[in-house]
A and B are shown apart, each in its own frame.
Chain A
Amino acid sequence: GAVVSQHPSRVICKSGTSVKIECRSLDFQATTMFWYRQFPKKSLMLMATSNEGSKATYEQGVEKDKFLINHASLTLSTLTVTSAHPEDSSFYICSATTRGGQETQYFGPGTRLLVL
C-alpha cells in the first residue's frame, strides 16, 4: 500500500516553455502533498506544501508564480514549472501523507527535468 506515482518520469523541454508534473496517491487519500527539488549530489529541498482544496504554502525563496501548485483532489497534485530555464533542471519529487495521526510521507519516484 501507500503508492505514489509521478508523471512524467523524465522530461526535456526548451527554455521558456512550461512543464506540468503530476503526483498521484494510488491507494490512499492524501490530505497533504509535498514538492521537493534535488540537485545532483545535494540534499532534498522542500519547495512547497499542498493541502487539498487550499493554496499551497511555499518555502522561503521559492517563487510561487514560477512553480504553480494545484491540489485539486485527495489523490492528485500538480506542479507546473512556468517559463522554465536551464537552472530549473533538477529532480522533482513529490510525497504524500496518509490520513490519521502520525502520518508517514511516501515519496513518488521523481521527475527528472532537463531544460535546454
Chain B
Amino acid sequence: QKEVEQNSGPLSVPEGAIASLNCTYSDRGSQSFFWYRQYSGKSPELIMSIYSNGDKEDGRFTAQLNKASQYVSLLIRDSQPSDSATYLCAVENSGNTPLVFGKGTRLSVIA
C-alpha cells in the first residue's frame, strides 16, 4: 500500500515569511513527485514537479527531494495571503499509474 503523509495543518505564517510544507512517502521505488495547490471549491492546479534529488526553484517556490529519506518538501518564499490554500503532495511510481495523493496541508498566510 503506497502512502503519502502530510501534516494536515493548518499551518499559519505571517505575510512575507517562508512557508515550509513537508511530505513523506512509503514507496521507495517512486520516481516522480508533484505539488498541487487547491483553493477552496476549486480543483487542484500543478505548482511544481521534481524527479531527482536536490532543489528545484520556480519563482517563489522551491521543491526539495531526498529519495534516501523518502521526503519531499515545498518552500514558499515571501508568502502572500493569496497563497492561502491546501497544498497536496502527490507521488507517482511509474508512468500511467494513478498519483498517490497526501491528504493535503492547509496553509494560511496572515496579512
Contacts and interface: CB of A to CB of B under 8 A. Distances in A.
Contacts of B56: none
Interface in B77-104: 88, 90, 92, 95-96, 98-99, 101, 103-104
Contact of A44 (B31, B34, B49, B88): B88
A40 to B, nearest CB: 9
Nearest to A42: B103
Contact of B44 (A44, A51, A102, A103): A44
Interface string A34-62: 10000000011010010100000000000
Interface in A10-47: 31-32, 34, 43-44, 46
B69 interface: no
A contact residues, range: 20 to 34
A103 B101 contact: no
Nearest to B104: A43
B17 interface: no
The 4 closest A-B pairs by CB, nearest first: A110-B43, A107-B43, A43-B103, A93-B43
B96 A97 contact: yes
B32 interface: yes
Contacts, number: 48
A82 interface: no
B101 A44 contact: yes
Interface residues of B, number: 22
Interface of A: 31-32, 34, 43-44, 46, 49, 51, 91, 93, 97, 101-110
A104 B49 contact: yes
A108 B92 CA distance: 19
Given A43-B101, A46-B98, A102-B32, A108 B43 contact: yes
A25 to B, nearest CB: 14
A83 B107 CA distance: 38
A7 B51 CA distance: 32
